[in-house]
């Protein structure tokens, strides 16, 4: 009898561990929803129900996510970690979440993201990284995300976004990019070209507003013509490095920090978007061509009028003086006149 009671109590304890609800959390078994929000938590609660599908951990004080933080909930499909103090995410923090579709990391203190961070999320559909302090996104955040449809990175510190990262998301349809520090120079041309193709295919974006340089500050990236982009200058090899080692030189290369710094600044300045140069005297040239054409037309008309006048004057003069001359100089008519005069009356 005592053995049966001991077995029964052990089963109860095991069920409480497996299907119990952590302190400061509210579990809804009918919907597999666990709500641990607004509880002042500093870490992920232990003993989460393994059948959990939706987990809310927003509005807490979680600073760090260790590796394998969610292995106890392998069937998780939606995870909300917004409005915490997250600043450090271990590369394997989301390991084991093969079914996760929605991940909300908005309103935290993230500065950057490891390229391996999302490797274990093949089913991810929505990723919200908005309202952080992210200044750089890696070229790739994992393998090709065939299922990702929504990406939000607005309200961060981004200046550039690699085209290769966007091309790894062939199914994305909503892209939120506003309120960053976009530097609209030659390095952002790839993003512009990708966005134009993205919008043409029916994608929706809130746009990219330039934060620098001053020439384009406040302008929409998509409204800047392609011809205003200058190709990015290639890094020129250091001429000093190709010279043979000089006698008496310890390292063989004379470093000139100030010159290198100035050349770097020149490269950056050359990389900035520059307005397309326009001919300074274009209007003057057009006006000159028009005036020249008008003058030539007037001169031609005057010459034509003079020719007509001359021909007309010559014809009238010839008609006026030609009649008597013809009559006087015709020998036949003179002889006939003389015979008529000499005949008897």
The mean pLDDT of 234-242, rounded to a whole number, is: 53
Predicted confidence (pLDDT) per residue in 215-230, tens digit: 889 999 999 887 777 6
CA dihedral 106, 108, 110, 115 (to 10 degrees): -40
Reading the block at residue 113, the tokens are 């993201």
Percent of the chain topping pLDDT 70: 70
At 160-200, the pLDDT tens digits run 998 888 998 999 999 999 999 999 988 888 899 999 999 99
**What three-state secondary structure class fits 103?**
strand
Q: Are 34 and 25 in contact (CB under 8 A)?
A: yes
State the pairing for strand pair 88-89/64-65: parallel
Q: Is the model's pLDDT at 302 over the cut of 50? A: yes
Tokens standing for residue 339: 């015979």
Residue 147: pLDDT over 80 = yes
Instruction: Please give the radius of gyration of the chain, using alpha carbons only, rounded to the nearest integer.
Output: 45
DSSP 184-204: -SGGGHHHHHHHHHHHHTT-E
Model confidence at 249, pLDDT cuts 50, 70, 90, reads very low
**Residue of 200, 237, 246, 255 lying closest to 222 (CA atoms):** 200
Helix or strand run (H / E) with residue 329: helix 282-329
Angle between helices 331-342 and 282-329 (to 10 degrees): 30
Among residues 124, 146, 24, the alpha carbon closest in space to that of 78 is found at: 124
pLDDT of residue 137 exceeding 80, the answer is yes
Mean pLDDT of 52-79: 96
| Domains delineated in the chain | 19-181 (3.80.10.10)
């Amino acid at each position: 009898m005592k053995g049966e009671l001991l077995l029964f109590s052990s089963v109860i304890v095991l069920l409480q561990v497996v299907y119990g609800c952590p302190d400061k959390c509210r579990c809804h078994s009918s919907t597999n929803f666990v709500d641990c929000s607004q509880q002042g938590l500093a870490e992920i609660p232990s003993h989460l129900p393994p059948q959990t599908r939706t987990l809310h951990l927003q509005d807490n004080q979680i600073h760090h996510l260790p590796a394998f933080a969610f292995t106890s909930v392998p069937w998780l499909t939606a995870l909300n970690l917004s409005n915490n103090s997250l600043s450090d995410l271990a590369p394997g923090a989301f390991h084991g979440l093969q079914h996760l579709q929605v991940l909300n990391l908005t309103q935290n203190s993230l500065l950057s993201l490891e390229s391996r961070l999302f490797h274990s999320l093949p089913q991810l559909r929505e990723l919200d990284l908005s309202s952080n302090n992210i200044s750089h996104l890696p070229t790739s955040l994992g393998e090709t995300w065939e299922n990702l449809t929504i990406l939000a990175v607005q309200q961060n510190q981004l200046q550039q976004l690699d085209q290769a990262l966007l091309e790894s998301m062939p199914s994305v349809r909503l892209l939120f990019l506003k309120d960053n520090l976009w530097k609209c120079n030659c390095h952002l041309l790839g993003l512009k070209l990708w966005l134009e193709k993205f919008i043409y295919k029916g994608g929706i974006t809130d746009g990219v507003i330039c934060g620098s340089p001053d020439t384009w500050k406040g302008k929409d990236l998509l409204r800047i013509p392609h011809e205003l982009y200058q190709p990015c200058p290639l890094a020129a090899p250091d001429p000093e490095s190709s010279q043979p080692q000089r006698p008496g030189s310890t390292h063989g290369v004379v470093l000139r920090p100030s010159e290198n710094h100035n050349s770097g600044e020149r490269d950056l300045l050359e990389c900035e978007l520059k307005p397309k140069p326009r001919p300074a005297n274009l209007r003057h040239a057009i006006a000159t061509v028009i005036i020249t054409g008008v003058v030539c037309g007037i001169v031609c008309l005057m010459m034509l009028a003079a020719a007509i006048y001359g021909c007309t004057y010559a014809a009238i003069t010839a008609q006026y003086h030609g009649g008597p001359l013809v009559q006087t100089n015709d020998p036949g008519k003179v002889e006939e006149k003389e015979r008529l005069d000499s005949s008897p009356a």
